Amino acid sequence: MVTTTWAPVPADSGFGVENLPYGVFRPTGGAPRAGVRIGEHVLDLAAALGDPVFAAPSLNAFLARGRRAWSATRAEIVSLLTDPARAREGAAHLYALGDVTLQLPFEVADYVDFYASEHHATNLGRLFRPDSAALLPNWKHLPVGYHGRAGTVVASGTPVVRPAGQRKAPSDDAPTFGPSVRLDIEAELGFVVGAGSDLGKPVGTADFAEHVFGVCVVNDWSARDIQAWEYVPLGPFLGKSFATSISHWITPLEALEAARVETPTQSPEPLPHLRDTENWGLDIDLEVELHGTIVSRPPYAQMYWSPAQMLAHLTSNGASLRTGDLFASGTVSGPERDQRGSFIELTWNGAEPLRLPDGTERTFLEDGDVVSLRASAPGTSGARIALGEVTATIGPTPA
């Protein structure tokens, strides 16, 4: 059943009252503040709810309040937006999206990126280790991940400058330094931590929703040539840390109840501390768009490791969580070619170029390319909800 609202929400907008993602906006001539998106508007929460926690340039103080407060606030917002008697009151605090500037929604504390898609990991294993097993021995026993750079997480719309770094092709005698020639994307989901945890106390899979507030769309930009030369033996570093883009909107977990599914069968069975008895697989569909053409539709439901398992592994050694921590899923890829979430897979490491409608081809990204990622999920009303969009334009390496 669709919940009705007095707010102007276009049909099939993806941003009805069953969604209500949080973000930070700056009205013309005003200071940044928090709001929720409803249709093509944003509701000023500080004004509408009379709560000064939302009169801030980030969501962090609100996120730190914890799950009970998140749920109570959501119920209060839904009540305001669905009560016809409060329409005049609420409408006074709506801003059209075209009249505001959207910003990074939270201050990122730590950033961790995982490698949770079996299809993605298998594809890369086949590309780079054709004479060995595609998956390394540890892959089905724990969610593999690496620590990224929180300071280079940026909001959708921020241009991405082509990074420079050391590269060494197999045919080269020595490394060279210069702009990356194999710039790539990774279509991912990100999970935003609200409530922190104590150092030395692991967080189990059953407590996932007590700590994680919501979900955003992530593009983990990757310079494949820099990455290939540097990653042995300690993993990704400069080939990843130049930029990670996230959507402006954080969709609360509470809005994703209808999207929850079981993960694919996990064999061997994970060790006890990684067993996800709450079924935190998510039926979320992504889109990868290059210059207005959708080139891939990765299915998140096929991810091998759930976000609850990622969080449990992240803290299993006693590492603490902080408000504003972000962890991402790793590239989302499915079994079909048009379900691959990176260009290194879509073009099979450049051997099978993508042909665009204008006749041009791509293996990796060129300066001026515009990439957009989107995601949607089933909502509680039966209609689909949108998780926002991540868009960026590739700029040249500075001279």
Q: Which residues are catalytic?
A: 120
| Residue 261 CB contacts under 8 Å (≥ 6 apart), including other chains | 279, 281, 282, 283, 301
Residue 240 in marked binding region: yes
Residue 113 in marked binding region: yes
Residue 338 in marked binding region: no
**Spacing of C-alpha 273 from chain mean position:** 25
Torsions phi, psi of 342, nearest 5? -150, 155
Residue 220 in marked binding region: yes
CA distance 350 to 203: 41
Nearest to 287 by CA among 191, 378, 357, 375: 375
- Eight-class DSSP state of 272: G
CA distance 9 to 175: 55
What tokens were used for 101? 């500037």
Residue 244 in marked binding region: yes
In the chain, which residue ranges form alpha helices assigned H by DSSP? 45-49, 60-63, 67-82, 87-91, 118-128, 208-211, 224-230, 307-315, 343-346
| Residue 350 CB contacts under 8 Å (≥ 6 apart), including other chains | 182, 344, 363, 364
| Residue 25 CB contacts under 8 Å (≥ 6 apart), including other chains | 32, 33, 34, 35, 42, 95, 100, 101, 102, 103
CA distance 164 to 159: 16
What tokens were used for 49? 């709810």
Residue 184 in marked binding region: no
Q: Find out whether 34 and 104 touch, Cβ atoms under 8 Å.
A: no
Residue 266 in marked binding region: no
- Eight-class DSSP state of 54: G
CA distance 59 to 248: 12
CA distance 75 to 63: 16
Residue 99 in marked binding region: no
Residue 129 in marked binding region: yes
Please measure the distance between the N-terminal and C-terminal CA atoms of the chain and give it in whole angstroms: 57
- Eight-class DSSP state of 49: H
Q: How does strand 111-114 pair with strand 153-155?
A: unpaired
- Any idea how long the chain is? 399
Detail the residues annotated as belonging to a binding site for substrate. Answer: 115, 129, 227, 231, 331
Detail the residues annotated as belonging to a binding site for Mg(2+). Answer: 220, 240, 244
Detail the residues annotated as belonging to a binding site for Ca(2+). Answer: 113, 186, 188, 220
